Structure formats: C-alpha cells, structure tokens
C-alpha cells in the first residue's frame, strides 16, 4: 500500500530523524573532545609563553639572564657609551644587515635603532642563543664588548649583531613590551 501523504508538513519521522542526527553529532563531539583537548599545551607550557621581568634594579652596564620558552634571554641595560658605539657602526659593515627583531618589520636593517625599543634604547633584549650552533654566548666579552661565543669564536657587538666568527645571523630580538617603566613582558 503506497503512502498518499503529499503534504510539505514535517512528519513525526522527520522529527525523529532530525533529533537522532543532532544527538549523534553531540555524542560524537563529546567523545572526540578529550582527544582534541589533549593536544593543547599543558599549563606549564602556557605559563612559559610569556614572562614578566622587573628591570628597575638593573644598573647601566649590567645584564641579567631570564628563561623564556626554554631559552635564555639576555636583558642588558646599556650605558650611553655602548649605545653610541652601536649607533656608529655603518650597516654596510655588518655581516648580517637584517635587524632580526620580532617587534618590527622582517626586512628592517640592523641599525641599533631597529634592535631596541623606542624610548627605551638603553635596554637591549636578546634571545641568548648563538646563531651558529645554538651555544650560549658569554656577555660583556669579545672584541666588540657585547657577547662572545667561546665554542666557535663568534663575536657580537653591544647591539647583539654578529661582527666576527662563523655565526651567520644577529642574535634574535624576541617579542616584548614594556608594561610600565620598570616592567618588561617577553612573549
């Protein structure tokens, strides 16, 4: 016996099919959620995504090292003489002419102005990993008064730019902001 129902009105069967489909989708999502959620980084990793540092106690000429994302970050309060020496270096003489500052344009030139924060030029913030083989350079050493990597002899100046040795690039300037005059957020 063929159905004679030709109305466009929904039937009970339509309602049951729609409800069953919706409940199946909700059930599938509920079953998949633990698998999706476990791919998120854990709380300790999220805590390392950014770090705040009080830089008010760092005297001119001093530097500190803080951990960020498993890497050392050098924070140096440069003296006016160190800043002036870095500004006097012509970009054409640099081995790596790119600023490598995650706060600016990717193709910015490696002038001292493009490697420090405007208004806070005395503070230089660098990821402390040699760009040659990933060693950790020693601060306030080397031929240019910046950093020296004793593993292979790379010398960086007071702006973190490679000047001598096998390292191919300048030290990276990570993303950072000054949240106050004396507080710095990295990341």
Would the CA dihedral through 80, 85, 138, 142 be positive or negative?
Answer: negative
Contact yes or no for 173/117 (Cβ under 8 A): no
Alpha-carbon distances of 139 from 3, 12, 13, 114, 176, rounded to whole Å: 87, 77, 76, 21, 20
Q: Which of 5, 132, 152, 155 is catalytic?
A: 152
- What is the rounded CA–CA span in Å between residue 146 and residue 39? 40
- What is the rounded CA–CA span in Å between residue 30 and residue 173? 42
Structure tokens at 11: 């039937």
Length of the chain: 187
* Whether 132 is catalytic: no
Contact yes or no for 133/177 (Cβ under 8 A): no
- What is the rounded CA–CA span in Å between residue 123 and residue 86? 13
Q: Which residues are catalytic?
A: 152
């Amino acid at each position: 016996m063929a159905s004679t129902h030709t109305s466009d009105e929904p039937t009970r069967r339509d309602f049951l099919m729609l409800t069953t489909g919706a409940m199946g989708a909700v059930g599938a999502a509920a079953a998949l959620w633990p698998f999706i959620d476990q791919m998120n980084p854990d709380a300790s990793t999220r805590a390392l995504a950014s770090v705040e540092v009080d830089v008010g106690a760092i005297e001119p000429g001093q530097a500190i090292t803080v951990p960020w994302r498993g890497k050392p970050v050098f924070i140096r309060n440069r003296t006016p003489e160190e800043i002036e020496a870095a500004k006097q270096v012509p970009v054409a003489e640099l081995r790596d002419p790119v600023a490598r500052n995650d706060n600016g344009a990717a193709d910015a030139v490696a002038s001292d102005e493009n490697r420090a924060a405007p208004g806070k030029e005395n503070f230089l913030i660098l990821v402390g990993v040699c760009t040659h083989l990933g060693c950790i350079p020693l601060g306030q050493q080397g031929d240019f008064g910046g950093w020296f990597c004793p593993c292979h002899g790379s010398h960086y100046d007071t702006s973190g730019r490679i000047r001598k040795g096998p390292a191919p690039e300048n030290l990276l300037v990570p993303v950072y902001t000054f949240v106050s005059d004396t507080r710095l957020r990295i990341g």
